[in-house]
Amino acid sequence: MVHGRPEFTGRIEVRGLTKRFGSFTAVDGLDFDVEPGRITGFLGPNGSGKTTTLRMLLGLVRATHGTATIDGHRYAEIANPLTVVGSALEATNFHPGRTGRNHLRVQAAVAGVPDSRVDELLELVGIPAAARKRAGGYSMGMRQRLGLAAALLGDPRVIILDEPANGLDPEGIRWLRGFLRHLADEGRTLLISSHMLSEVEQTVDDVVIIANGRRVAQGTVADLRGEPTAYVRTSDPERLTQALRDRGLSVAPKGRGLQVTTEDLAVVGDAAHASDVAIHELRSEQTHLEELFFNLTDRDEHRNRNLDARPSGGLPVDLPPPSGPPIDPALLAEPVESGEPGERVERRASTTPAMPAGRPDDDGRPR
């Protein structure tokens, strides 16, 4: 139930979603679903269209064709969306001169959320001590936590995160894993984009894998892995093969041993013992998400076609614009001579935008 709407489910549906930037096809007829109460991993190589898809889902980019809806509604149709959908797409989307607490207070004011919620979330994500420090001095991990706090301001039922584990240390990653599981157990819908395949495997329930803007696989992690198997190396492969097949198991040669379709190693051991066959090696085998990912995305039909479509003169002129503010051309200029002979002055990019003299900063102190 979300704000008096018991019919709200939080289900995400993407149907025929396509986005073209000139001749560059970022997303191509994409279909997938994200169910409430589950964590869905959204995976794909660089340039596969993951971030563009998330931006279309959040109404930041207009789709060329198709739909991306939350509970049957486009993002722009949701009243006070921050209380329904929380998102964190970039860990650098903060004013560097503003404190972490004031960054959240600005967003809270837009959503009609009290300041008490800001302090609660700073405590929840583990950065209360840094709340009054400027975000420009935050580490990458602290920015990730601040972004997560911003996504949760309106107590949303749908949470969309892009690379949330980037910059976190092992302890922080373990904390994030447990925190995301807690949110899913509350019935929330979580869509997580990530490149950290080993971590995703320990975190998510379902996986959507895309390449060249198209879906190449979707399902639970267990379903995508396929049937569990065992590998056995023995002194008499033919005799053990017959014994295992007599027990109704599928057996195939593999390297110097046999691959048996079962997760019960005891069955293999019992068959070998009953047949008086020595076992030299016996272990479980399982397709890991990383292996599955590369098996799918390394196929010729799924290789990034846009990387091979660049004209000889350089980068395509119709690529999507980069995120973030434009770069001041003056910052890229060559060093210029000062008024004093023999003295050179270099132009350097500032990490903090200049403020007018005398203007107070977020903490109320004049500059």
Return the CATH fold of 227-285: Alpha-Beta Plaits (3.30.70)
* pLDDT of 90: 76
User: What are the residue ranges spanned by the domains of the chain?
Assistant: 12-224, 227-285
Query: Which residues on neighbouring strands pair with residue 42, listed in sequence order?
Result: 193, 208
* pLDDT of 342: 45
* pLDDT of 335: 47
Per-residue 3-state assignment (H helix, E strand, C coil) for 175-206: HHHHHHHHHHHCCCEEEEECCCHHHHHHHCCE
d(CA 120, CA 162): 23
| pLDDT values of the chain reduced to their tens digit, one per residue, 367 residues | 444 455 678 999 999 999 999 999 999 999 999 999 999 999 988 888 999 999 999 999 999 999 999 999 999 999 889 899 999 987 667 888 889 999 999 989 988 899 999 999 999 998 888 888 998 888 888 899 999 999 999 999 999 999 998 888 889 899 999 999 999 999 999 999 988 787 888 899 999 999 989 999 899 988 887 788 999 999 999 999 999 999 999 999 999 999 999 989 999 999 999 999 999 999 998 777 777 777 777 766 556 665 554 444 444 444 454 444 444 444 444 444 444 444 444 444 444 444 444 444 444 444 4
pTM greater than the 0.75 cutoff: no
* pLDDT of 304: 61
d(CA 215, CA 208): 7
* pLDDT of 313: 45
d(CA 32, CA 44): 14
Torsion angle (degrees, nearest 10) of CA 40, 45, 46, 47: -90
Helices (H) and strands (E) in the chain, counts: 10, 15
Radius of gyration of the chain (CA): 26
CB atoms near residue 45 (< 10 Å): 20
Closest CA to 153 of 109, 214, 211: 109
Cβ-Cβ contacts under 8 Å for 170 (sequence gap 6 or more): none
Query: Which residues on neighbouring strands pair with residue 345, listed in sequence order?
Result: 336
Q: Are 175 and 126 within 8 A, CB to CB?
A: yes
* pLDDT of 303: 61
Counting other chains too, the contacts that 33-37 makes at CB distance below 8 Å and 24 or more residues apart are 33/218, 34/189, 34/190, 34/191, 34/206, 34/208, 35/11, 35/189, 35/206, 36/9, 36/10, 36/11, 36/157, 36/187, 36/188, 36/189, 37/184, 37/185, 37/187, 37/188, 37/189
CATH code at 12-224: 3.40.50.300
